[in-house]
Structure 1
Amino acid sequence: MADDGSKTFTIVHRGVAAFAEGCFAAIRNPNSHEAGLPELPEHEALEQLAAFSVPARWVDTGKLET
């Protein structure tokens, strides 16, 4: 969403950042930093992959402002 100065932009931007941070904190970090975790069942791994696909799409469709 383009920054139009609206409250909606602020809320969406904050939500995107919180969602991405949550994905990294709850999914990526434990699986990357904890040795000996059991392998996830396929359906859970696919759910986690789907969760990461959302912020990945947002980043992919975003535009860098300099």
Structure 2
Amino acid sequence: MPGDGSDTFKSVYRGAASLAGGCFAGIRNPHSHEGGLSELPEHEALEQLAVISVLARWVDSATVER
């Protein structure tokens, strides 16, 4: 959504930033930094991909403002 400074925009922005941070902290970092992790069960891997897919769609539809 356009960055109009509204409370809704601020909520959406904060939510996307929080989701991105959560993906890094809870999904990416453990798999990248803990070499001993075993493979995930298929259903868990699909759930994680679904979350990352939502975040990627949001990022793809965003507009960079300078």
Q: Answer yes or no: same fold by TM over 0.5.
A: yes
Distance (Å, rounded) in 2 between the aligned partners of 1:7 and 1:48: 29
1:4 aligned residue: 4
After TM superposition, the score normalised by the length of structure 1 is 0.93
Structure-2 residue corresponding to 1:45: 45
Percent identity (aligned): 67
Cα drift, residue 36 of structure 1:
1.0
Residue 56 (str. 1) matches residue 56 (str. 2)? yes
* Gap runs ≥5 in structure 1: none
Cα distance per residue 1:36-66 (max 9 Å; x no partner): 1111011111110111001100010111112
User: Taking structure 2 as the reference length, what is the TM-score of the superposition?
Assistant: 0.93
Counterpart in the other structure of 1:20: 20
Unaligned runs of 5+ in 2: none
